[in-house]
């Protein structure tokens, strides 16, 4: 009988959009997120990610910066202009650790900035903490 009144965490079945041009990394992240009970959407560039975000309204976005077609910062700029997506938490997940890129991402109020390579357990913890605050 105990536990019947537990509230369901916001992370249960939350949808995470992974936007990264590296197919192997995208697949690995997708697999690890699914192991942790997340629904996962994937896109290979910023334009595709923006279109998928608009159509699916994910709970959180993992966003690379250096991508073809549209960079992560450009996608982030468009997300913040869209009333339906401007509050969506974004974690930049990128190899770029240049102070100017970090400042640009921060100006769009990213939830976190994680550099590659990264620890998956730490990433899952960050995602969970961000979604639990939502």
Token duo for residue 108: 């769009």
Q: Is the pLDDT of residue 134 over 90?
A: no
What SS3 state is found at 2?
coil
pLDDT band at 19 (very low <50, low <70, confident <90, very high): very high
User: Distance between CA atoms of 34 and 15, rounded to whole angstroms?
Assistant: 10
| Per-residue pLDDT at 8 exceeds 50 | no
> Taking the CA of residue 24 as centre, how many other CA atoms within 13 Å lie in the half-sphere pointing to its CB?
0
Q: What is the pLDDT of residue 11?
A: 62
- Residue 98 in this model has a pLDDT that exceeds 60: yes
Question: Which residue segments constitute the domains of the chain, with CATH numbers given?
Answer: 15-133 (3.40.50.2300)
By C-alpha distance, which of 84, 82, 32, 83 is closest to 62?
A: 32
pLDDT in tens, 106-126: 899 999 999 999 999 999 999
**Residue 101 confidence class, pLDDT cut points 50, 70, 90:** confident
Burial class (CB in 10 A: 0-12, 13-18, 19+), 68: exposed
**DSSP code at position 134:** -
pLDDT for the residue 40: 98
Q: How many other C-beta atoms can be found within 10 angstroms of the C-beta atom of residue 55?
A: 9
- Lowest mean pLDDT across 1-10, 75-84, 91-100: 1-10
115 DSSP β-pair partners: 94
Is 32 within 8 Å of 124 (Cβ atoms)? yes
Q: What share of the chain has pLDDT > 90, as a percent?
A: 79
């Amino acid at each position: 009988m105990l536990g019947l009144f537990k509230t369901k965490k916001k992370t249960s079945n939350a949808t995470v959009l992974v936007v990264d041009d590296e197919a192997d990394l995208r697949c690995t992240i997708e697999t690890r997120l699914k192991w942790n009970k997340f629904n996962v959407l994937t896109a290979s560039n910023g334009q595709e990610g923006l279109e998928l975000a608009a159509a699916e309204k994910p709970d959180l976005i993992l966003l690379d910066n250096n991508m073809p077609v549209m960079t992560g910062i450009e996608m982030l700029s468009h997300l913040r202009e869209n009333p339906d997506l401007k509050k969506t938490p974004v974690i930049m997940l990128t190899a770029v650790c240049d102070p100017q890129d970090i400042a640009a991402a921060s100006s769009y109020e990213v939830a976190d900035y994680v550099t590659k390579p990264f620890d998956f357990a730490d990433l899952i913890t960050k995602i969970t903490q961000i979604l639990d605050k939502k």
